[in-house]
Structure 1
Amino acid sequence: MEIAEILNFTVPLSDITLESVVLAVLVAIIGWIVVKVLTSAFTKMLSRASNLPALVIEFLVRFFSVLLYVILALIVLATLGFDVSSMVLGLSAVIGLILGFGLQDTITNLAAGVWVAAFRPIDKGEYVEVNGISGTVTSVGIMATELLKPDNTYITIPNSLVWGSPVINSTRMDTRRTEVKVGVAYDSDLDTAIRVATDLMTAHKAVLPLPGPEVVVTELADSSVNLSLRAWTKTSDFWGVQWDLTRDVVRAFKEAGIEIPFPQVDVHLDRMQ
């Protein structure tokens, strides 16, 4: 059998020839390579020619990549002999019907993803809390935002929830104020307790001198006078300072003879005559 006859062989139950199948495979392979090259070039162009943040660049690259793959799929189908124009019209009608019945949330997530990438309430690498969920932002996709929790739990949040909820960004600012709460007994020397706590914060190498650390009396509780140790530090040092002060204030108060009381209740019993 000659090569021409082999290539003209028609796939059963269709008008697709073996030649068109081979050509479609070649188009798919070459197109896949072209998409990779164009995506890489688009990424480099955005990185060099603009001051866009990494999160926005990643979002645009993903959108561009999806668009190219859709075009490639249509070209492959056209190579196989399908009527792409009628397919696009039919697909558009189906998409319109689906949108009318239940893809409003999808469009909302898509639009929210654009707004999140443009206005940047969160950015890649930042530690945020969204709707009670905390984690480090790894990426913002077309439909969802991805977070990684400290215990290595991976979380995907719909973009509409990110855009429509208050976002607590713990790492956007260069500095943060840490706060450690501790109670002292009512018969303790309050001035001494404040001085010891202030000296403890001042001596910590990661505590910033300005604004200076301060100790505030926050509450006269049932069993203790509650103090709040407040110190400013670099955001990268926040948790280290928080943990150090929480641990060291116990030792410092013990050495100074300041009691940290247990919760207690006085019960009085009256004898019946």
Structure 2
Amino acid sequence: MDEVTNFVTENQEVVYHHLISIVFALVIFVIGRWIAKGITGVMERALLGRSIDKAVVSFLGSIVYTLIMIAVLLMALSHIGVQTTSFIAILGAAGLAVGLALQGSLANFASGVLIIIFRPFKAGHFIDAGGVMGTVDKIEIFQTILKTPDNKKVLIPNAQITGSAITNFSAEPTRRVDLVIGISYDSDLRKAKQILADILAADERVLAEPAPVIAIGELADSSVNILVRPWVNAADYWGVYWETLEKVKLTFDEQGIGIPFPQMDVHLHSNKQEN
């Protein structure tokens, strides 16, 4: 005991300096932990406010908290004189190794988080993404599950979705039906346009605003192409599309409006040689 007392007495300044450093390190650790919890809590509340899945929020919160606490621990150790350069190097090397090993999975994870946060689509939307067209069944961290119109289940990696264009057909409440109706050159153009207008007017699913467009789109090689563009509610799109084509064909047949097929006129010239 006397030896300890003598050592403290002889090295009083050094001991006090180390004690103060340890106290400051503990203060840094406590304050850093409080800040980490505060930042994590704010982030989790913000994500939950955007209706993000609780499991995803908890996972992201734990990652953020761990990263902040690692930084706080390194600061505390550095304050008491521990060389943290080697720890940082080891952590960096380990992070690089893990990142390279899980490159594809991390890309899918990051893309899944972006999809969940920014919500370019949600479950039930009909989309074209990653080269696949279908209805969104479920959005997961690493993949998104679509159901195609013929009832196939397709699992698409999230990185493939965010790395390409996303077309969301369900994002807006209304859609425009684009039809091209070709009639023969010898058919009555005004009569054909009136028939098309009557067909659209008789369909209750066609919206009055914006008004449907019926206009000449092209004088093609074998036909006069008429653009027919009514606006409908998104849920009525395919019904109006298919039924309008059927009504146009039946009505044109009844009214004598010809719908031509591709054809080519061939002119033969006979060259007679005089003897």
Q: Considering the TM-score relative to the shorter chain, is it more than 0.5?
A: yes
The whole-number CA distance in structure 1 between the counterparts of 2:111 and 2:145 is 14
- Asked if 1 retains the 8 angstrom alpha-carbon contact of 2:212 and 2:228, the reply is yes
Cα shift at 1:231 = 0.5
Other-structure match for 1:226: 225
Determine the structure 1 residue equivalent to 2:55: 61
The answer to whether the 8 Å contact 1:127/1:171 transfers is yes
Counterpart Cα distance in 1 of 2:94 and 2:258: 70
* Matched pairs, number: 200
Greater Cα radius of gyration, structure 1 or 2:
2
1:43-76 CA-to-partner distances (Å, cap 9, x unmatched) read: xxx9xx96534xx32xx435748999xxxxxxxx
Q: 1:196 to 1:105 in 2, by over 3 A?
A: same
Distance, in Å, in 2 between the alignment partners of 1:65 and 1:106 is: 15
Q: AA paired with 1:262?
A: F
* Residue 118, structure 1, aligned to residue 107, structure 2: no
Letter of the 2:55 counterpart: V
Amino acid at match of 1:177: R
Is contact 2:99-2:106 (8 Å) kept? no
Q: Distance in 2 between matches of 1:198 and 1:205?
A: 13
Question: 1:215, 1:230 within 8 Å by CA — same for their partners in 2?
Answer: yes
Aligned to 2:250: 251
> In structure 1, how many angstroms separate the alpha carbons of the residues matched to 2:203 and 2:158?
41
SS at match of 2:150: coil
SS of residue matched to 1:111: helix
Q: Distance in 2 between matches of 1:255 and 1:218?
A: 24
CA shift in 2, pair 1:210/1:194, >3 Å: same
User: 1-side partners of 2:157 and 2:259: how far apart?
Assistant: 46
Letter in 1 for 2:222: S
- In the other structure, the counterpart of 2:38 is none
The alpha carbon displacement at 1:95 in A equals 7.0
- Letter of the aligned partner of 1:249 in structure 2? V
Partner residue, 1:52: 50
Alpha-carbon deviations, 1:104-133, whole Å to 9, x = none? 221111111111101011111100001321
Displacement, 1:164?
Answer: 1.8
C-alpha root-mean-square deviation of aligned residues, in Å? 2.7
Q: CA deviation at 1:181?
A: 1.3
CA shift for structure 1 position 100? 4.4
Amino acid at match of 2:50: L
Unpaired runs of at least 5, structure 2 = 1-44, 63-90
Percentage of identical aligned residues? 37
Whole-angstrom CA distance in 1 between matches of 2:139 and 2:174: 25
Structure 1: gaps of 5 or more residues:
1-45, 69-91
CA deviation vs aligned residue, 1:225-271 (integer Å, no higher than 9, x gap): 01121100100111100111111111121222211111111011111
Q: Residue by residue, what CA displacement relative to the aligned partner does 1:209-240 show, whole Å, maximum 9, x if unpaired?
A: 11111212111111100112110010011110
Please name the residue that 1:20 is paired with: none
Q: In structure 1, what is the Cα distance between the partners aligned to 2:160 and 2:48? A: 29
DSSP-derived class of the 1:218 partner: strand
Structure-2 separation of matches of 1:197 and 1:215: 8
Once residues 215 and 180 of structure 2 are traced to their aligned partners in structure 1, the CA distance between those partners, rounded to angstroms, is: 10
Instruction: From the superposition, tell whether residues 132 and 114 of structure 1 become closer, same or farther in structure 2 (CA, over 3 Å).
Output: same
Per-residue CA deviations over 1:160-199 (Å, capped at 9, x if unaligned) read 1111211000111100011121100111111111111011
* Contact 2:48 2:57 (8 Å CA) reproduced: no
- CA–CA distance in 2 between the matches of 1:120 and 1:158? 16
The yes-or-no answer on 1:161 pairing with 2:160 is yes
TM-score after normalising by structure 2: 0.66
Question: Is structure 2 residue 234 aligned with structure 1 residue 235?
Answer: yes
